Amino acid sequence: MSVLDGISRSLPLMLEGLKITLSLAALAVVFALAVGLVVAWMRMSRFAALRWLAQGYLALIRGTPLVAQLFVIYYGLVTVVDISSFWSAVIGLTVHTGAYMAEIFRSGVQSVPKGQTESARSVGMSRTQALRIVVAPQAFRSILPSLGNQFIIAVKDTAVASFITVPDLFMQAQKLAAATYEPLTYYLISAVYYLAVVMLLTALLRRLERRHTRYAI
Amino acid sequence: MPHPDTAPQDTAPQDVPPLVRMRDIRKSFGAHTVLDGVDLDIGTGEVVVLIGASGAGKSTLLRCVNGLERIDSGEIVIDGRELRYDEKSLNLMRRRVGMVFQHFNLWPHKSVLDNVTTAPVKVAGRDPRQVRDVALELLDQVGLKRFADRYPMSLSGGQQQRVAIARALAMRPKVMLFDEPTSALDPELVGEVLAVMRDLADSGMTMVAVTHEMRFARSVADRVVLMADGKIAEQGPPTAVLDNPRSERGRAFLRQVESV
């Protein structure tokens, strides 16, 4: 059987999987942005307790494999609350990606020269106003590339969800591979889907970046 | 003729309290003492120029006035209110104290006009349309009205610094602080910034400037304060301090400046 045959025959199943993969990625990225903001803020807080909490979280997440984190959340949460594998995966991916987002946000804030905050404070802006009006917009521009990179990684990381029975793109490929004894065909096909999504995302991010570098002459 | 060590009588009569009053200001960075007991009064409408070798404490003293640096001990009173370091008091005080930085520190993501209007609207809560008119007027005063829609990075250093002055003035401060406003500029751009400062002084603004521009000090300052090792070594009218320094510190500093 040719690969082209395989593509057309697997299309309905793969599209089902793609839908789940994209939902996973979108939810995880949106929630991770929020988690990242909060953790970055804690990490730069004046209060030592908040800084330690954030640092502990970062060390734990960055120091352990994503698969392990997912398994712990999946098997751990199930004992406490009734939660689907899909939402376990969303939580796991959020917790994981959020740590990296936090570090990106922190690097962004620290990339803005201290003089910017000083001039903001010197006209009477509060700490929060200086951050919101002066520092954050500049930080956002400088972190756009790394943020985009993290989006792309998050899309591909969703494949791990198949390990906890989420019927995502990769799970579909696994099923088809097992049923047809043609693993190479279907794993390659799934790779094409991932590649297409990432290329589309890359193009979108590039446009966003171009629009937001106006003032940097 | 008043004694040069006292506050000048012509601009700050004894019965009017000074606009800025500093008493026994001490400040260290770690083991390094930067300000070692400074007393300084700034009268309303007075133009005071701080000079001295680098590391003498001029910039730190200036930054202490608007709380960018926190003093270890001493007392600062601005416009009748003692400087305190809680957020609310600091933010209120800073509305009345404008500051111009060596490296301009304009906000690169905002247009020239927005650099000037942001604080009056967002901090002072003034009417945006009214603020816009005032901002354009201020930009006109510093000769940059036609650049209102440009972004800071497309301007020369001298132009950026003039925008920074307009930005500080937009808050209608009672006193303006200048921290080496021309030190980062190419020589041919220094004049335009000094001209704006001169106009400002002529308009009666109270000003404290750290600068190495001796010509400016001579022609615009009411009083020159010479600092050395975190102390005031000498102060008085420009001619007295710059032509006949009485302190050894003063003579040494001026020899160095003049030999350039």
**Distances in whole angstroms, Cα of residue A161 to Cα of each of A25, A94, A157, A195:** 11, 12, 8, 18
Q: pLDDT-based confidence at B2, cuts 50/70/90?
A: very low
CB contacts of A118 in chain B (<8 Å) are: 68, 101, 105
How many Cβ atoms are within 10 Å of A207's Cβ, its own excluded?
10
Distance from CA of A33 to the nearest CA of B (A): 22
pLDDT attached to residue B203: 95
pLDDT attached to residue A217: 44
Distance from CA of A142 to the nearest CA of B (A): 12
Give the HSE-up count for residue B37: Cα atoms under 13 Å, Cβ half-sphere: 1
Q: pLDDT-based confidence at B113, cuts 50/70/90?
A: very high
Q: What is the pLDDT along chain A (217 residues), one digit of tens a residue?
A: 567 787 888 899 999 999 999 999 999 999 999 999 999 999 998 899 999 999 999 999 999 999 999 999 999 888 888 889 999 999 999 999 999 999 999 999 999 999 999 999 999 999 999 999 999 999 998 999 999 999 999 999 999 999 999 999 999 999 999 999 989 989 999 999 999 999 999 999 999 888 876 555 4
B92 at interface of A, judged by CB pairs closer than 8 A: yes
Closest CB from B91, B98, B152 relative to A126? B91
Closest CB from A115, A121, A138 relative to B94? A121
Whether B194 contacts B206, CB under 8 Å:
no
Please give the residue range of the domain that contains residue A47: 3-213
pLDDT attached to residue A210: 86
Record: contact B123-A123, CB cut-off 8 A: yes
Closest CB from A122, A126, A133 relative to B99? A122
Record: contact B68-A217, CB cut-off 8 A: no
Please give the residue range of the domain that contains residue B77: 40-258
Record: contact A215-B109, CB cut-off 8 A: yes
Distance from CA of B66 to the nearest CA of A (A): 7
Record: contact A215-B87, CB cut-off 8 A: no
Residue B224 lies in a domain: yes
Distance from CA of B22 to the nearest CA of A (A): 19
Record: contact B92-A141, CB cut-off 8 A: no
Residue B7 lies in a domain: no
CATH code for the domain in which residue B233 is found? 3.40.50.300
CB contacts of A116 in chain B (<8 Å) are: 105, 107
Residue B24 lies in a domain: no
What pLDDT, in 10s, does the model give residues B59-94? 999 999 999 999 999 999 999 999 999 999 999 999
What distance in Å separates the CA atoms of residue B168 and residue A124, rounded to the nearest whole number? 10
**Distances in whole angstroms, Cα of residue A80 to Cα of each of A68, A83, B89, B156, B260:** 18, 9, 49, 63, 77
Count of domains observed in chain A: 1
What distance in Å separates the CA atoms of residue B138 and residue B169, rounded to the nearest whole number? 8
pTM: 0.84
Instruction: Find which of B66, B68, B86, B107 to mutate to test the A interface (most A CBs within 10 Å of its CB).
Output: B107
Count of domains observed in chain B: 1
pLDDT attached to residue B8: 47
Instruction: Work out the average pLDDT over B174-188.
Output: 95
pLDDT mean across residues, chain B: 91
Q: Backbone phi, then psi, for A98, in 5-degree steps?
A: -55, -35
pLDDT attached to residue B79: 93
Distance from CA of B153 to the nearest CA of A (A): 6
Q: pLDDT-based confidence at B250, cuts 50/70/90?
A: confident
Structure-token match 């020369």, residue found: B156
DSSP summary character for residue B8: P
Give the HSE-up count for residue A43: Cα atoms under 13 Å, Cβ half-sphere: 24
What distance in Å separates the CA atoms of residue A73 and residue B183, rounded to the nearest whole number? 58
B66 at interface of A, judged by CB pairs closer than 8 A: yes
Closest CB from A125, A214, A216 relative to B123? A125
> Is the pLDDT assigned to residue B128 strictly greater than 60?
yes
CATH code for the domain in which residue A177 is found? 1.10.3720.10
What sign does the dihedral B57-B58-B61-B67 (CA atoms) show?
Answer: negative
Closest CB from A121, A141, A217 relative to B154? A217
pLDDT attached to residue A167: 93
DSSP string, B61-81: HHHHHTTSS--SEEEEEETTE
Task: Sheet with B223-228: list strands edge to edge.
Answer: B97-100, B175-179, B206-210, B47-51, B223-228, B231-236
Interacting residues of A9 by C-beta distance below 8 A, sequence separation 6+? none
> Is the pLDDT assigned to residue B103 strictly greater than 80?
yes
Interacting residues of A104 by C-beta distance below 8 A, sequence separation 6+? A36, A143, A146, A147, A150
What pLDDT, in 10s, does the model give residues B141-177? 999 999 999 999 999 999 999 999 999 999 999 999 9
Tell which B residues from 140 to 159 touch A, by Cβ distance under 8 Å: 151-154
Residue B2 lies in a domain: no
Record: contact A138-B108, CB cut-off 8 A: yes
CB contacts of B154 in chain A (<8 Å) are: 217
What distance in Å separates the CA atoms of residue B173 and residue B120, rounded to the nearest whole number? 11
B91 at interface of A, judged by CB pairs closer than 8 A: yes
**Amino acid found at B139:** L
**Amino acid found at A34:** A
Structure-token match 């354009």, residue found: B136
> Is the pLDDT assigned to residue B13 strictly greater than 70?
no
Closest CB from B68, B90, B109 relative to A118? B68
Interface of A with B (CB under 8 A): 113, 115-116, 118-127, 129, 133-134, 137-138, 141, 214-217
Computed on alpha carbons and rounded to an integer, the radius of gyration of chain B in Å comes to 18
Q: pLDDT-based confidence at B5, cuts 50/70/90?
A: very low
Residue B4 lies in a domain: no
Could you list the beta-strand ranges (E) of B102-205.
175-179
Structure-token match 């957020």, residue found: B87
Count of CB contacts below 8 A, A vs B?
Answer: 73
Helix (H) or strand (E) holding B36: strand B32-42
**Tokens standing for residue B213:** 């521009």
**Tokens standing for residue B125:** 């809560």
Q: Backbone phi, then psi, for A162, in 5-degree steps?
A: -60, -25
Whether B49 contacts B224, CB under 8 Å:
yes
B10-19 long-range contacts, CB within 8 A, separation 24+:
B10/B222, B11/B43, B11/B44, B11/B45, B11/B46, B11/B222, B12/B41, B12/B43, B12/B44, B12/B46, B16/B43, B16/B44, B17/B80, B18/B42, B18/B43, B18/B44, B19/B43, B19/B44, B19/B46, B19/B78, B19/B79, B19/B174, B19/B175, B19/B206
B160 at interface of A, judged by CB pairs closer than 8 A: no
What distance in Å separates the CA atoms of residue B55 and residue B34, rounded to the nearest whole number? 8
Give the HSE-up count for residue B222: Cα atoms under 13 Å, Cβ half-sphere: 23
